[in-house]
Amino acid sequence: MPPLPIEIQPYSASWPAYFSLISHQLHTCLNTTSVPYTSITHIGSTSIPHLAAKPNIDIAILVPSLPAAILAREALIWEPPGPEHYHGGLREEYAAVKWEQVAVGQRDGVAYGRAKNAVVAKILRVAGWTDEEVRRKEALDVREEGVNWDDEPFT
């Protein structure tokens, strides 16, 4: 079956509310099952006000240890410390890359993701990441273009 086209939508004010609903359900589930966690955070494009995005709510559940991550069966994602900032120029540059991929008919999710790497690296550097941290993050993505893009990006 050929891959589905990548869908980008204009920003929706419903995305934060949908994250809140999912977050509440995750809190309830993790608390009920006694899985330790530090935070549940809305990440990715839908968390950035006024940024066009694929309509997927990306969520990071931070846990204190690898055993807790295994129990939660969720990704353990490190975020650099610091205040949140929105940079309109970077947001527009990021959106332009996304729309460009849609315009060229990109259907490969891995290629779509890699097309965004340069601007994502720029965003991470503005957020305080070092060049080495950006390189390490990119090295973790071992997916291959043309393979099912819903596979886990990190092994």
Q: What is the pLDDT of residues 10-51, one digit of tens each?
A: 999 999 999 999 999 888 878 877 788 899 999 999 999 999
- Alpha carbon distance 129, 121 (integer Å): 9
Examine residue 145 and state whether it is found in any structural domain, yes or no.
no
Q: In this model, does residue 61 exceed pLDDT 90?
A: no
Q: Is the confidence at residue 85, as pLDDT, over 70?
A: no
Domain assignment present for residue 44? The answer is: yes
Q: How many CB atoms lie within 10 A of CB 148?
A: 10
Q: What is the pLDDT, as a whole number, of residue 18?
A: 94
Is the pLDDT at 151 greater than 80? The verdict is no
Q: Is residue 4 part of a domain?
A: no
In DSSP notation, 26-53 reads: HHHHHHHTT---SEEEEESGGGSTT--B
Q: Is residue 59 part of a domain?
A: yes
Give CA–CA dist 151/40, Å, rounded: 22
- Residue 56 included in any domain: yes
Contact indicator for 35, 68 with CB cutoff of 8 Å: yes
Residue 97 lies in a domain: yes
For residue 74, the model assigns a pLDDT of: 42
3-state DSSP assignment of residue 113: helix
Q: Give residue 84's pLDDT band: very low, low, confident or very high (50, 70, 90).
A: low
- Indicate the pTM of the whole model: 0.49
**Residue 39: domain span:** 14-140
Lowest average pLDDT, out of 73-82, 96-105, 117-126, goes to 73-82
Q: Which residue has the higher pLDDT, 4 or 82?
A: 4
Which residue type does 69 have?
A
| Domain total of the chain | 1
Report how far residue 144's alpha carbon sits from residue 141's, in angstroms, rounded to the nearest whole number: 9
**Within-domain flag for 9:** no
Q: Residue 108 burial by CB count (10 A; 0-12/13-18/19+): exposed, middle or buried? A: middle
